[in-house]
């Protein structure tokens, strides 16, 4: 806590992924986050607070925003609302007039925020655009001595980032990023026809983004990632082998026994999401140059996972 008060960087667990925290009211402290991650200044950070009342001190929350906060906080829903003047540093919002906020459900994060009594900007605790960390070891491997302290709270429960919604009075409720809260769950609190899904957007690197997670390539391991149907797994592995790549595979339910390193994940969306980033980290640590991922099912419950895999499979610019 003392480190955060001093403007230092502290990685801490949340129920989604580990966050790299700094006090959100200090421009210099927030800029340290961006420097440590190599994060573009145009990509705003989510501010973590201890309660709805703390969020109201940072932003103007209307009826819809308060309804969603009451339903999902503490929890993996981030609400974007008009910021109050001077409440958070400009670096936190990339200079925009809105601020993204949530109350995390992790007991360690909540205790830290409650005792600190300050808003904490905390994007995922990893190098920019790489796979988000779900354990303290992932943070250490990604950031090393770029962070002043790491709080180990065990593996993240959801293993995938929060859902982000823009809830500004006079505007339609807009989903900016799919995540641990399904779209259908949000729609139960407002008319389904009043919810706009803008989660497939692609943000330009040189323009201020409306929320995190919109870059074309994001959530990606160091190696090449390709998503194919189960019928095409053998062909994708053969292509990678001909290219001389060390191959890893993420399959659903059972191992196809095609690649040198294979990890299987559960067939239900929540369990799969909880294990996906850990699987990608593990295959990366094994030195896999190519990771072949079995395509996941269609449907709303899988939409956040499909979004992460789609962005992770975008080729890296050379």
One digit per residue, the tens of pLDDT, for the chain of length 318 reads 799 999 999 999 999 999 999 999 999 999 999 999 999 999 999 999 999 999 999 999 999 999 999 999 999 999 999 999 999 999 999 999 999 999 999 999 999 999 999 999 999 999 999 999 999 999 999 999 999 999 999 999 999 999 999 999 889 899 999 999 998 899 887 765 688 999 999 988 778 888 999 988 999 999 999 999 999 999 999 999 999 999 999 999 999 999 989 999 999 999 999 999 999 999 999 999 999 999 999 999 999 999 999 999 998 765
Q: Show the domain range for 69.
A: 2-197
> Can you give the CATH number for the domain in which 87 is found?
3.90.870.10
**Are both 171 and 262 inside the same structural domain?**
no
Tell me the C-alpha distance between 24 and 121, whole Å. 5
pLDDT of residue 192: 58
**Are both 138 and 242 inside the same structural domain?**
no
Please report whether residue 189 resides in a domain: yes
Please report whether residue 218 resides in a domain: no
**Are both 304 and 235 inside the same structural domain?**
yes
Q: Pick the closest to residue 316 from 219, 245, 173, 201 (CA basis).
A: 219
Tell me the C-alpha distance between 309 and 210, whole Å. 21
Please report whether residue 131 resides in a domain: yes
Please report whether residue 219 resides in a domain: no
R_g of the chain computed on alpha carbons: 19
Please report whether residue 92 resides in a domain: yes
> Can you give the CATH number for the domain in which 286 is found?
3.40.50.11030
Confidence (pTM): 0.96
**Are both 86 and 164 inside the same structural domain?**
yes
Please report whether residue 217 resides in a domain: no
- For the chain, what is the domain count? 2
């Amino acid at each position: 806590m003392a480190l955060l008060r001093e403007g230092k960087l502290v990685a801490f667990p949340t129920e989604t992924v580990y966050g790299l925290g700094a006090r959100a009211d200090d421009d210099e402290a927030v800029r340290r986050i961006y420097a440590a991650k190599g994060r573009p200044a145009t990509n705003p950070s989510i501010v973590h607070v201890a309660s709805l009342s703390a969020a109201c001190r940072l932003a103007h929350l209307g009826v819809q925003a308060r309804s969603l906060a009451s339903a999902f906080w503490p929890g993996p829903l981030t609400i974007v609302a008009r910021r109050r003047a001077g409440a958070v540093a400009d670096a936190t919002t990339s200079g925009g007039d809105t601020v993204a906020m949530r109350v995390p459900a992790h007991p360690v994060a909540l205790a830290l925020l409650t005792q600190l009594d300050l808003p904490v900007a905390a994007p995922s605790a990893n190098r920019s655009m790489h796979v988000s960390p779900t354990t303290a070891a992932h943070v250490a491997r990604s950031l090393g001595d770029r962070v002043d302290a790491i709080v180990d709270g065990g593996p993240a429960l959801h293993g995938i980032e929060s859902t982000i919604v823009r809830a500004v009075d006079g505007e339609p409720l807009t989903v900016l990023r799919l995540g641990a809260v399904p779209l259908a769950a949000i729609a139960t609190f407002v008319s389904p026809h009043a919810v706009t899904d803008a989660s497939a957007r692609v943000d330009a690197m040189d323009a201020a983004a409306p929320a995190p997670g919109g870059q074309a390539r994001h959530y990606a391991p160091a190696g090449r990632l390709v998503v194919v149907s189960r019928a095409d797994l053998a062909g994708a592995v053969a292509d990678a082998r001909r290219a001389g790549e060390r191959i890893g595979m993420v399959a659903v339910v059972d191992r196809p026994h095609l690649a040198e390193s294979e990890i299987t994940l559960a067939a239900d969306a929540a369990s799969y999401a909880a294990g996906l980033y850990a699987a990608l980290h593990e295959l990366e640590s094994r030195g896999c140059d190519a990771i072949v991922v079995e395509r996941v099912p269609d449907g709303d419950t899988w939409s956040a996972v499909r979004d992460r895999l789609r962005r992770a499979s975008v080729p890296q610019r050379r």
